[in-house]
Amino acid sequence: MNDGLEWLKWVANRFAVYLTTPAESRKELRRQRKQIREPWGVRWFGMLAVGIQLWWQDRRKNKPHVPGS
C-alpha cells in the first residue's frame, strides 16, 4: 500500500510542476527533446540498422558497373 502512496505523491508533484511551469517553457523543452532524439531506425533496431545501412551503401559503391543495365 505504501508504493501506491509514493506513486500518488510523485504524480501530484509532477502535476504541480507542470502547472507552475509556463506554457512557452514547456513547448521549448519539448522542441529541444525532439531535436536530440535519435532517428526511428536506431530507436527501434539499435545499431543493427546503422550497420546494415553502411554495408549496403559500401556494397553499392564497390559494385562494378555493367554496361547496358
Report d(CA 41, CA 46) in Å as an integer: 7
**Is residue 17 within a helix (H) or strand (E), and if so which, with residue range?**
helix 2-20
Q: In this predicted model, what pLDDT tens digit does every residue of 7-60 receive, in sequence order?
A: 999 999 999 999 999 999 999 999 998 888 887 777 788 788 888 888 888 887
What is the reported pLDDT for 1?
61
- Name the residue ranges covered by the structural domains of the chain: 2-62
**Which residues touch 43 (CB under 8 Å, ≥6 apart)?**
37
Residue with cell 522542441: 31
